[in-house]
Amino acid sequence: NAGVMQNPRHLVRRRGQEARLRCSPMKGHSHVYWYRQLPEEGLKFMVYLQKENIIDESGMPKERFSAEFPKEGPSILRIQQVVRGDSAAYFCASSLTSTAVGTGGHEQYFGPGTRLTVT
Amino acid sequence: TQLLEQSPQFLSIQEGENLTVYCNSSSVFSSLQWYRQEPGEGPVLLVTVVTGGEVKKLKRLTFQFGDARKDSSLHITAAQPGDTGLYLCAGAASGGSNYKLTFGKGTLLTVNP
């Protein structure tokens, strides 16, 4: 019973390169969330996706960042032209539903994260 | 913007001691989740509390949600070295955006043998 899977676990990119982070949700989960954890800071919400739809991207920088969750395959967080300030741990979470507070279906389960280092 | 303050930020105790960590906000949350995160790993969900005043127990861990759903506490009885880790609370917004979790910065607990 696999949990949320993320790859790669560690990614090193030079300034100006592109970073692609992948997330496969738990089996049966169709809701995916991306969070970023900067050193000395808490996790910050970036984006919420369902299959083929971006539901809320209010936490994602307007430039250079994009996310998708295609009909087939993993969710992808893409960062173009990376800068040093993008260095962080990026976590993906998934849930069975997004609402239904009280039934547990909305509980978010996190993957192990991708640690991005920009040199 | 909803904020969650966790205290203490750091806690170092001896095996067998009891401890309580706190999670406070001026905002009301529809639910609150506690996670534990180990170095190099993602947060692992421990419990979700939903109802004001709710108390949940998980072996030696007791979680309480404040009556007004603005704060929560985690109490550990007879702490063990295996309890060492970063404890995070996360509140789900009320209303239509209740999928959006706001995290505190965490309490880093070290239990010494």
Tell whether A7 lies on the interface with B, counting CB pairs under 8 A. no
> Which of A15-19, A48-52, A80-84 is least confident?
A48-52
Give the integer Cα–Cα distance in Å for A65 and A82. Answer: 9
A18-72 pLDDT, tens digit per residue, is: 999 999 999 989 999 999 998 778 899 999 999 889 999 999 999 999 999 999 9
Q: Are B38 and B86 in contact (CB under 8 A)?
A: yes
Q: Given A42, A59, A107, which is nearest B105 (Cβ)? A: A42
State residue A78's pLDDT score.
Answer: 98
- Within 10 Å of residue A53's Cβ, how many Cβ atoms? 9
Determine, for residues B99 and A33 on separate chains, whether the beta-carbon distance falls below 8 Å.
Answer: yes
Whether the per-residue pLDDT at A102 is higher than 60: the answer is no
Handedness of CA B3, A104, B50, B87 (dihedral sign): negative
What is the phi/psi pair of residue A85, to 5°? -65, -10
Mean pLDDT of chain A: 91
Q: A-contacting residues of B 4-63, CB under 8 Å?
A: 4, 30-31, 33, 35, 40-45, 48, 50-51
Determine, for residues A99 and B44 on separate chains, whether the beta-carbon distance falls below 8 Å.
Answer: no
Greater pLDDT, A110 or A96: A110
CA distances in angstroms from A113 to A81, A99, B29, B79, B98, listed in the order given: 21, 24, 26, 28, 23
Whether the per-residue pLDDT at A98 is higher than 80: the answer is no
- Within 10 Å of residue A33's Cβ, how many Cβ atoms? 27
Please state the rounded mean pLDDT for residues B8-25: 97
Please state the rounded mean pLDDT for residues B60-89: 96
Whether the per-residue pLDDT at B2 is higher than 80: the answer is no
AA letter at A54: I
Please state the rounded mean pLDDT for residues B69-98: 92
Whether the per-residue pLDDT at A96 is higher than 90: the answer is no
Beta-carbon-side half-sphere exposure of residue B80 (alpha carbons within 13 Å): 4
Whether the per-residue pLDDT at B32 is higher than 60: the answer is yes
State residue A8's pLDDT score.
Answer: 97
State residue B99's pLDDT score.
Answer: 86
